[in-house]
Every structure is written in C-alpha cells, then in structure tokens.
Amino acid sequence: MVLRITNTLSRQKEDFVPVDPKHIRFYVCGPTVYDYAHIGNARPVVVFDVLYRLLKTLYPRVTYVRNITDIDDKIIDASQKSGDEIGSLTTKFAEIFHQDMNELNALSPDVEPRATDHIPEMFEMISSLLESGHAYEAEGHVLFCVRAMESYGQLSRHSRDELVAGARVEVAPYKKDPADFILWKPSTKEQPGWDSPWGRGRPGWHLECSAMSAKHLGKTFDIHGGGQDLIFPHHENEIAQSVCSHGGAPFVKYWMHNGYLTVDGEKMSKSLGNFHTVRDLLNHTPGEAIRLALLSAHYRQPIDFSLPALNEAKNGMDRLYTALRISAHTKADRILGADVQQALEDDINTPQAIAELHRLASLLNKNPNDGATKGALLGGGEILGLLQQNPESWFKWGASDIDDAEIEALIVKRKEARDAKDFTESDRIRDELAAAGIVLEDNASGTSWKRS
RNA sequence: GGCUCGGUGGGAGAGUGGCUAUCCAGAGGAUUGCAAAUCCUUGUACGCCGGUUCGAAUCCGGCCCGGGCCUCCA
C-alpha cells in the first residue's frame, strides 16, 4: 500500500509520489504569536504531526518546516494594548505555544523559521516580482498584480476575472484591481518597520511563507498543509508569489487542509464566549486526551469540540491505558502494526487507526501476556502520538485533596480490614477515597487506584 | 450569486457494490465479599425520490436540509 492523500488542488485522493523519495519536504503554516493558542490552532499542529511521524517511518529523510509569524498587525495591536514590546511579546507567546504543543505530544518541526529573520529573502522575492511585472508600487505599497498571472485562483477555484471584477469590501484606492494583494506596506514611525528599496515598512501577510519555504525547502516541495480557512486568500497568494518569482517553477505538489473546529456546535469566537485556549484545557485534562479528541474525527471533517467530547476522549485513553496497566509485566517491543499503518496511509485516517488501537486493547485485556499485541498497541500509539507515558502516571494524573502517600496508606489499611473480613471498614475506606475522587480496582496482583 | 464540504443507529465517528467498524451510553450475563476493571451476549442505521445492477447505505441523476469560504481567522 502506498500513501494516499487528498490534494486540495484536485479535490481527490491521490497516490503520494514524492518530488524526491530520498528526501520528503513539507511545510505547515504556524502560529501568529500574539496570544495563547486556542484549540482550533492545535488541530493542524496535531494532525500534521501524525503525518510527520508517518512520513518518517516511510522515507529515509523528512524535513518539516513550520513557521512562526512574529510580525503582523494583530501583533502590533496586542503590543499597543498590553504595553509589551513586540519582541518580548512574540518571544513570550512563542514559548507558550511550544510548551502547549509539547503537552499535546507534537514533535518539534525540523526548522521553525521566523518571519523577521527573513526580511532579506522577502526583499529578494519582491524585487523579482517587480522585475517580472507581477508586482507594482503604489503610494509606498508594493502589490501583487493578479491580472498578470493567468492561472491565479486554481487552488480555491476562484475565477480571477470575478475576483478582479467584484469585491465586497471597499477597495483601497492604490489597488489597480480589487483582488491585488499587498507584498509590502509602509509603516508609520510608531509601527515596526524595516528600511527597504520601497521605503520603511513591513511585509504583507502572505509573503513570509513563500520566502521561508523557498529558503528551507526549495522552490518545489512535496506537501503544504494548513487549515481550510487558509485556502483563500493565504495559500492562493503564496502560490502566486512563489510561482511568479521562481520563473514558473511548480510550487507545491500536494496541498492538505484540515477542517474547521467548532465548539458546542458553534464557530469558536471570542465574542460568543466559547473560546478554549489549549492552556485552559490542559489545566483539567491531560494533553493526550485533548490530542485524542482532535484525532477522533478525520482531519478533513469538521469537528465539534465540547467538554463532554473531551471527557469521552479521556475515557478512551483510560481504556487504552487500562490494557497497558493490566499487561504491565509483559515485555514488548514497540512495533507499528500493518493495520494502523494502512489506516494512516489512507489519507491519515486517524479514526480508523484509533479503532485498531481499541481492538488491540481488547486482545491484550484477554491475553495480558501477549507481548506482540502489547508491542503493536505501543507502536500504534506512538505514531499517533498517544500512549507515551507509563500507565501508572497516566492514572495518577491530576490534583486532589489527598496525596499519593495517603492513598497508599489507606489502601494498606483497607487490605488489613479485608483480610480480617471486616467489609464494613474496607468499604468505608473505599467510599472515603471515592469521595476524594479516587477509584480503587482490586485484582489478582493487589489493588490499583486512579484519579477519576 | 460563485466555490466548497457534509447529511450513518441514543451520542461520537469510520468504511465498503453483497460479509460485526470502533468507542461512549442502554439491556442481560460471567467474574467479584460487594464494587471497580475486564470478558461474553444484545437492540435500534445509513436525508428523500428515481436510475444502473442479480444485488446500493455504497455508483449515477434530481431534490430537500445543514455547514464553510468569497481578501482578520487553524
């Protein structure tokens, strides 16, 4: 079986044929660091992390690039509101982003370029576009001229003529056509800026990804991912900039886009108050449960995120970890089973892969000494970025009024009561622990416990 | 209006031209001092109408309903 992925360019599932099978290169649009990451930001990170892990098992070398946008008008606004300098603001939120994504078991990309480190590359790209007649200067701005690109609109299937003809917002007076977009814009004295051949200013939003992907992956590379909402205009404009500044060289072979995340059935937004930051969720749910929730629907489907859904994901992880706990003394070598691999090779079908994990868990529950099954469960978990800790620490995760030593002491007391057939006392202790959120499980090897 | 993605059992959510998805919840049973966990058994399903086919929830056409995008957005 070969890897198959749905390519937004064709809207079809295609066999993945690498540009260079010895070296896979892919790029995902990363965060704009001006605030805490929300759960919607986490979805592409987690989804493309699974793709990254899969590619690494299939090919000898993979370079994964995910940028950090550290110059943007939203950042400027946040800086003015908070009074923090832009540099310290972006450093702070980039660090928070890293911590949060680490809690979700997302691997670091191989390269994590920052926009502000690539201003010279952006200059180069703008110059090239001006020279080739794909861009023009107007009132301190440099704009991409959509009319100069015959194939503009292919990814989003927008007709260039329609985009040129109609616009639903007021068109800036310096634009030749409403669909033209900014490559470089002037900065006031208060705004951050760089001296450029076109005056002091800052880059337009789309430019950085074109400049950074070319620098770190080359003009033509395999996969570019991001959220569905980036198809237009962001990715469409990336294609325009890259193709036109690279003499028509193909840009990206496979475009992948993850679906939207809603919260309680409604689009997440600050005004609706249904806004979950990853950090908030991590305060009362372990990262792997959040990760499972994000992977429980196929990446292209919309996913509704809610606290009950999150709780169900937690239960799902509990079930998988229970099988590992039952087989704790079984030696196993981690191995990626064929069923999990095939599920993921089929357009990253994570729900199918998770179902396979559950099948393996059932097998292991029936036969805890089966090292091969345990190895397959661990290996399948690994490629999904799940089951990365030992079961005991999983079940002891969380805070309660009672600490581990007290729990253990009460369990010893309960055992003494049970040995003496004093079930009134042993049940009283169990109830006391239950009231504190501790659930006991008696089994052949003794009593284990977990925080519920 | 243009583009686009969907409508599967109580809930979540895959998949396939004919064969149990899986998980949660429900029912019954095994096990247990009683539980918990686990195991076994178990009900209700593929929006509507046509067509192709020996056979369609799965392919084709039409219709109904819902979501998203159309220059802030993962």
Question: In three state form, how does the secondary structure of A363-391 look?
Answer: HHHHCCCCHHHHHHHHHHHHHHCCCCCCH
Can you give the distance from the CA of residue A302 to the C1' of nucleotide B14 in angstroms? 14
Please tell me the distance from the alpha carbon of residue A203 to that of residue A198, in angstroms, as a whole number: 11
Amino acid (one-letter) located at A212: M
| Contacts for A217 with CB less than 8 Å, ≥ 6 apart | A25, A26, A27, A63, A65
Could you tell me which residue, A433 or A263, shows the higher pLDDT? A433
Reply yes or no on whether the pLDDT at A96 is more than 90: yes
Q: What is the mean pLDDT of residues A309-332?
A: 94
A32 touches strand B (CB under 7 A): yes
> In this structure, which amino acid lies at residue A420?
A
A200 CA → B16 C1’, Å: 60
Strand B–CB A46 distance below 7 A? no
> Residue A179, CB, less than 7 Å from strand B?
yes
Give A256's strand partners: A225
A380-434 per-position pLDDT tens digit? 999 999 999 999 999 999 887 889 999 999 999 999 999 999 999 999 999 999 9
What confidence score (pLDDT) does residue A269 get?
Answer: 67
**Residues in chain A, how many?**
452
Six-digit token string for A229: 């909402």
Rounded to an integer, what distance in angstroms lies between the CA atom of residue A62 and that of residue A371?
Answer: 31
In whole angstroms, what is the distance from residue A5 CA to residue A47 CA?
13
A431 in contact with nucleic chain B (CB within 7 A): no
Is pTM, for the whole model, over 0.90?
Answer: yes
Per-residue tokens: A270: 């600050």
- Asked if A131 and A142 count as a contact pair (C-beta separation under 8 A), the reply is no
pLDDT at A452: 82
- In whole angstroms, what separates CA A59 from the centre of its chain? 21
- ipTM exceeds 0.90, yes or no: yes
Kindly report the bases of strand B lying within 7 A of a protein C-beta atom: 2-6, 11-15, 21-25, 32-40, 67-74
Average pLDDT for chain A: 92
Cα separation, A46 vs A42, in Å, equals 6
